[in-house]
Amino acid sequence: MPATIAMLRDLEASGEIRARSGTAFALTPALREAYVSGSDEELEYAALLDAARASLRLISAEEKGEPRRAVVSADVDNVTLRADLDAAVVRLDGPVPLSQIAAIHVDAAEAADAVTAAAAVIDAADLGDEDAEFTLGDAEDHELAWYAPQELPFLLELL
C-alpha cells in the first residue's frame, strides 16, 4: 500500500491502515503476464516500486507532508483485481490491521530533496513530460529502507 509518514503515524495510533481509495499494489496475474520472466520476489518488488510511485502522489496531495515515500507490505486475502487501472493494482475492501503487516518501507533522510522534487512533478510525469520523468527517476534511485512492523514506533520517533 502506498503511504505517507502521516499515514504511518495513524497506523501506530490506531493499529490499522486504510489505503487511500482502497488502492494497493500486488503480484497479480496481470502483472505476472506483463513480465516475460521473473521470480515472485522480483515481481513483488515491481509492485513495491509501483506503490512507491503512488506514494509520491499522496505526498504531493499532503499539505506540509514529510518528503519520504512509504510503502506498507501486508498479507491480505480479500482484494479485487483492477487490471483496468494497471497490471499490479488491486482494491482493498477495508482497513488492514497491524497484525497483517509484513514490512514497512521508507525513504532514508538523504532522499528528501529528490522526493520533494518528484512529488512536485508527478502529475506532469503521468502526462508524459520527459523532464518530470527524469526527476522521478532521481527519487526512484533511492532504495526504500526495510522495517519490521514492530519497529514502527522507533522509526517514527527517529524521523
Q: Which residue has the cell 514506533?
A: 153
- Residue ranges of alpha helices (H) inside the chain are 5-14, 29-34, 40-61, 112-126, 130-140, 152-158
- Helical axes 130-140 vs 112-126, angle rounded to 10°: 140
Containing 96, the helix (H) or strand (E) segment is strand 96-97
Q: Which amino acid is at 89?
A: V
Are 122 and 30 contacting, i.e. CB atoms less than 8 angstroms apart?
A: no
CA 39 to chain centre: 20
Are 96 and 72 contacting, i.e. CB atoms less than 8 angstroms apart?
A: yes
Q: Is the pTM of this model over 0.75?
A: yes
pLDDT in single tens digits along all 159 residues of the chain? 999 999 999 999 999 999 998 999 999 888 888 887 778 888 999 999 999 999 999 999 987 778 999 999 999 988 889 978 888 999 999 999 999 999 999 999 999 999 999 999 999 998 999 999 999 999 999 999 999 999 999 999 988
Q: Please give the DSSP secondary-structure letter assigned to residue 103.
A: E
